[in-house]
Amino acid sequence: MSDLYQNLQTFARVAERRSFTAVAAESHASHTTIARRIDQLEAHFGVCLIHRSTRKLTLTAEGERLLNHAQRVVAEIANVEADLAGSTAIRGVVRVGVTTALGLHYTDRLAHLIDRHPGLRVEFAVADWQDSLIESGVDLALRVGDPAPEALGVEPLGLIERRLVASPAYLARRGVPAGVRDLTHHDCITYGYGAMPAVWDIDGDTQRVQGPFRANSSEAVHRAALGGLGIALLPHIQVAPAIAAGHLAIVLPDAVVAPLVLSIGHRFRAMGVPQRVRAVIGFLRDEFPRASHPLGKAPG
């Protein structure tokens, strides 16, 4: 690998992570080595690329211009290597931001991807509340609703159906709601944190609900429902096993609950998406929950 290519590769990663230390750790190199590569690149082009301070790194105007070129060069060389060596040459690390429910769903199926591409390494950043692509340092991320504003590429993924559920013990203790308005008289386990209002979109209207517990983790909400704490609104793929086992029951089965709209956001331009990232995007599409519906088709 030539010094110029390696330096461009390092610069692109530093620009994405905004951290020498993070890139050093993931590259198994020292902080000094990463800084020296940037110094060499600045000397080669005769410009300052990065403003460095004790608190943060920012790109100069020249750094922003070079970043576009560096990303294309790195992606194109990876594509050439894969093209000449065949599909088995797809290798390297792909970091993916995923929600809890989908992260667990895809983890169960990751062997299918690794069997096809043994040289590929996948890292999941599992969290229902994703940071920005830059802050989390991921290559791509699954997003609910609007994609991340800094995403250069956005690919629609599909819809995830949701269910109102509660434990049989809770329903025996508090009764079964007959309609949506009855939810205001029940303990509802809500998803959120801080000042975010607790509202559920049901039957085309927003319903304010409240209860003794809320969390910014869907798994915490799931476990609270299993424990009999109240009624929860959760992705069907997350609660389906508990429903089948009789640990949770569907509440208001005829109610129309707005699904979650999922997309994939990434920081690569259309012609510069590396083969390793394309392979993971294909996996996310192919293994998307079959019970859900592709975008453009309403549940029914």
- Final residue of a structural domain among 66, 85, 104: 85
286, 265, 281, 276: which is closest to 130 by C-alpha? 265
Q: What is the pLDDT of residue 300?
A: 42
Domain of 73 in residue numbering reads as: 1-85
Residues 245 and 179 in one domain: yes
User: Could you tell me what percent of the chain has a pLDDT over 70?
Assistant: 84
81 and 9 within one domain: yes
For the domain that residue 274 is a member of, what is the CATH number? 3.40.190.10
> pLDDT by residue (tens digit) across 223-278?
999 999 999 999 999 999 999 999 999 999 999 998 988 888 887 765 567 788 88
**Are residue 123 and residue 169 in the same domain, yes or no?**
no
Domain co-membership, 152 together with 265: yes
Mind listing the pLDDT tens digit for each residue in 41-100?
A: 999 999 999 988 777 788 899 998 888 788 778 877 776 766 666 555 688 889 898 988
pLDDT for position 272: 66
Same-domain check for residues 15 and 156: no
> 298 and 180 in one domain?
no
CATH number at residue 40: 1.10.10.10
pTM tops 0.75 = no
Total domains, the chain: 3
Q: Which of 85, 115, 134 is the last residue of a domain?
A: 85
269 and 153 both lie in a single domain? yes
Amino acid occupying residue 119: G
- Asked if residue 1 and residue 79 are part of one domain, the reply reads yes
Residues 168 and 244 in one domain: yes
Residue-level pLDDT at 17: 80
Answer yes or no: is pLDDT of 296 > 50: no
146 and 267 both lie in a single domain: yes
Is residue 204 over pLDDT 90? no
Residues 192 and 174 in one domain: yes
